[in-house]
Chains A and B, each alone.
Chain A
Amino acid sequence: MSDIKPILEVRNLRVEFPTRRGLLVALDDVSFSIAPGEVLGVVGESGAGKSMTGAAIIGLLEPPGRIAGGQILLEGRRIDNLPYQDLRRIRGREIGAIFQDPLTTLNPLYTVGAQLIETMVTHLPLNPAQARAKAIEWLELVGIPAAAQRIDSYPHEFSGGMRQRVVIALALCAEPKLIVADEPTTALDVSIQAQVIALLKRLAREKGTAMMLVTHDMGVIAETADRVAVMYAGRIVEIGAVRNVVKHAAHPYSSGLMGSIPPVSRRLDRMQQIDGAMPRLSAIPKGCPYNPRCPKVFDRCMVERPELMPAEGNLAACWLYADGAPAAEAKHHG
């Protein structure tokens, strides 16, 4: 993997929110990369920083949030410090974005065709007539029936699932190399979710598009992603191949997360859960941020913050995998 040049490389990304009560660090020391055609899943609880990471990459952090450190590289070129106008040309053209709620991401006053044509004409050397023909192709590609007629329909004339297909067409229509999909199926009916995920996966494979798939749904990750990054309190706590993380989660938080997926094969009286709640950004504990909830906590966790280190074939930010950890019982969890 390391000899292929990554599409996206994020190095030590730090995002801060200056507030009246002081500085909040929303993302701290986040590093990962995505190879061409690869799907990286990003999971975590609400507020762990998953969506924030996506917003930072496409350069659309909500003010007053700002990138305070680190680098974001697209095909080796730094994009985190580009002026707004240059970044605009990258958005849509090189990085496509898909948002959570298809009911609110389409402008209600324009036909889906107008929105597709507008996006393509902005980025590609097409005249409006050519763009219209391409728009119909795209609508067909994402599975809108009777695309040639539906192109002149308004968003409110489509169902939620169909609208998300339109959003996918909009994100892909300028053929970007990377898609940042922020909870693309969360707002959809369960029966539609699988279809939309299958569509995204198929299109990404056909077009060779890499994807960062942000979700809190481990099922979606397991089905779609090649690798997965688990986030907690603004940091990546574990990253590795999906199969391995699901089977041998190294970090106690990821293993808790995997344990809370209800098995289909047997009945449970009680769902597994992780006690407590994620700390607020203003009150992240010293040492490992997971220490108040961790069942395997020991002295070192309370004072020193762990970095990512090799663990069970993945990388995990956990002192259990450092030299001198209370080893014997540590490695037999999960």
Chain B
Amino acid sequence: MFAFIVSRVLQALPVMLTVALLSFAMFAYVGDPVAIMLGQDYTEAQRTQLISDLGLDQPFFVQFFKFVVNAAQGEFGLSYRLSRPVADLIAERAPATLELALCAAALALAIGVPMGVYTGLYRNSWLSRFFLTFSLIGVSLPTFLIGILLILTFSVWLGWLPSFGRGDTIRWGWWSTGLATWSGLKALILPAITLGLFQLTLIMRLVRAEMLEVLRTDYIKFARARGLTNRAVHFGHALKNTLVPVITITGLQLGAIIAFAIVTETVFQWPGMGLLFIQSVGAADIPVMSAYLLLIALMFVTINLIVDLLYYAVDPRLRIGGGKGGH
């Protein structure tokens, strides 16, 4: 088990280095940081001074090495746009995005899995047909449209929920949370639905397809022939066998939710990383962009590790070296 984790972490290193190389290359090839930082009026002496301050006169590999060492310590330099350390900016914004993404994912799982099981078991009931039609809408409507429609309904017409922002937040150490206040929770509802709706329908359709597949297998037939209760057959035997693909997709989608919450954050003016990123792209704020790229890569690598560990917990056949005897 421990060896498994270590080997996975070692496998992740080349991935992270490759992404680091890409995000470092942005400094060299996208725009000229010196020109951006100096502005309109400068002397040649100031320019040379800045170049040597920034270490840009050093060889490529030395620069890259320094970048990696700094990045590993959470040092990404100053934002061009805001002239503040990038690490601070991200630390301020990350809790908002993570809370939003995790709530959206939890919503998608908590509603999507039961709906998938139901539509898989009762294929022909009118409720299943309704869910399927509804899921088609969820898959095909663009995120921004859903967000705007929700705002129109619940903020403008009904006036029940706020249309933008995060509400009041409470700080726990460096983490700021909106989950502990009433206005924070109210502000979270619409963005979480907007972000989670597509994932919800995706998970529902996936669970449904897997359930239909699993219900046809011999071991389900045999479980019925053994006279087990429907509950045991459906939830004990069938659902557990659908979990491996569901975990895979949910893991990948969670990464995608975090990385691409941009649209939702923009629609709701949610003060998260996505909004920071889109503003940084507009200003060619390369330190922020490269840090964001690395952070997202790290997030995907971590999620993949967790997914692998969950496989390990769910499916005994994947436990390497766990078997004795055998065929």
Q: Which residues of A contact B (CB under 8 A)?
A: 58, 60, 88-93, 96-97, 99, 101, 104-111, 118-119, 122-123, 150, 153-154, 156-160, 167, 170-171, 174
Contact = CB atoms under 8 A, between A and B. Distances in A.
Nearest to B326: A157
B219 interface: yes
Interface residues of B, number: 27
A154 B316 contact: yes
Nearest to B222: A105
B228 interface: yes
Contacts of A93: 227
A92 B229 CA distance: 11
Contacts of B66: none
Given A156-B323, A159-B327, 13 more contacts: A92-B228, A93-B227, A97-B225, A105-B222, A109-B240, A109-B315, A122-B229, A153-B324, A154-B316, A158-B326, A158-B327, A160-B327, A167-B222
Nearest to B226: A92
Q: For chain B, what secondary structure do more than half of its interface residues adopt (helix, strand, loop), or is it mixed?
A: helix
Contact of A170 (B226, B237, B315): B226
Given A101-B218, A105-B222, A157 B227 contact: no
A119 B226 contact: yes
B225 A60 contact: yes
Contacts of A122: 226-229, 232
A92 B225 contact: yes
A118 B232 contact: yes
B221 interface: yes
B84 interface: no
B106 interface: no
B83 interface: no
A99 B327 contact: no
A123 B229 CA distance: 10
Contacts of B323: 153-154, 156-157
A99 B229 contact: no
A91 B237 CA distance: 17
Contact of B222 (A90, A97, A150, A154): A97
A156 B225 contact: no
B317 A154 contact: yes
A198 to B, nearest CB: 22
11 contacts: A96-B225, A99-B225, A104-B219, A108-B219, A108-B315, A109-B241, A118-B236, A119-B228, A122-B229, A153-B324, A156-B326
A58 B237 CA distance: 20
A109 B314 contact: yes
6 interchain residue pairs of minimum CB distance: A92-B227, A97-B225, A91-B227, A104-B218, A92-B226, A105-B222
B325 A105 contact: no
B318 to A, nearest CB: 10
Given A109-B314, A122-B229, A153 B223 contact: no
